[in-house]
Amino acid sequence: MRVARAWSVFVCAGLAAVAAYFLLPTEGLAQAVVYMALQVAVLVVLWVAAAVYRPARPGMWRILIAAQVLYLVANVLWYLLEDPTGGAGT
């Protein structure tokens, strides 16, 4: 029962964060912060799920976690290097 409650809380918080993302102004840092927070939340959930369920062959969990880390790093770099006109930095 605790796992079902945790997942429902996570899904509701995620939906609220997605709604907040689209309600925020497109210019500025607010949307980027919410987007990164969602990515970190997914990374944490993947890590917790792999630790709790301890699969016999955890390779796929590790690949998912590594992919999420790379995705997060790529997006952080994108936001850091993006120029004020909206294009990617050089």
> Please, where are the H alpha helices in the chain?
2-23, 30-53, 59-81
Per-residue model confidence (pLDDT) at position 87: 52
Tracing tokens 């509701």 back to the chain, one arrives at 12
Range 64-74 burial, b when 16+ CB lie within 10 A, else e: bbeebeeebee
Six-digit token string for 29: 């840092």
Determine the Cα–Cα distance for residues 13 and 90; give it in Å rounded to an integer: 36
Report pLDDT digits (tens) over 13-71.
Answer: 888 888 988 888 887 788 888 889 999 999 999 998 888 888 889 899 999 999 999 99
Per-residue model confidence (pLDDT) at position 27: 75
The model's pTM is 0.75
